[in-house]
Structure 1
């Protein structure tokens, strides 16, 4: 997606590229972005912030989050878990905390959001949670992105009312929107991305 949609261009902000990665654990978007910048945009200074449910916060249930914390442990200064340390992007104070922190980082040109269950077996059970989370990810992205920036949102279902409304809302803010299914995504799964 980074290459196909040209989501990262040579930075205009003194060679610095800033990105935000929501619901990022275990770190696929950060890893892909790192690889793309290292191989295509050498000399670019990349500053990134990631947020996810904090695997070290006792208030988060283990079944609700990814507990793989290798990237978090190795790159701790890039992770933001909000004023309450939970990392729950559905909470207003955590969204506002992300906005405040990014306002000091520079021009944010990419936001990725990877939070939804994506599990076809439990889709009905998680659908309401996914809709709330996707809406909060969109709100966080809209308050973080600079003009001309890009947003990638993982979606699990595009045929229900809430998803169609979210696609419509985001389409009204961006010059172009696309729905894609990456070639590496499980063809039997319902995972799609709104770009």
Structure 2
């Protein structure tokens, strides 16, 4: 993809969302320590299974994959908006950055995160754009979360004992049809 500035940026786009894949070589003998760091990350608020409060609000999903007998690490994600904004969110996310700093400390070429230029150079050195990328839904994270809130509110209306008269209006039929799924 290309930012408005004309500067090439990594990843393929589908609608407002981009994919992003990084591949690293794990430092010799660091596989077990890296697995422990990833387990610690998985137990952190926002990353635990069922938590949806990630510090970077534009991420659809993210995963770390150790492979080749724990000698390689992949970080694969998709996010909404431009790559530069995603990197800025990542760099300024506080606790998230500290957790990732621990993880990346186990891979080759990582010298810490002294500034945004160093982050960008490290990340771009590990990035591989996908050969193909597809999505199963068109919404942004913000739109999906709003749809979930609207659905929850509509379910409350459906459950309200005084809603029968309002729900009987013909204008409500499309909502009722969707709610029946």
User: Is TM-score (shorter-chain normalized) higher than 0.5?
Assistant: no
When you count helix as a share of all residues, which structure comes out higher? 2
TM-score per shorter chain, which class?
Answer: under 0.3
Report which structure shows greater RCO (CA 8 Å, sep ≥6): 2
- What's the TM-score, normalizing by structure 1? 0.23
- What's the TM-score, normalizing by structure 2? 0.24
Higher alpha-carbon Rg: 2
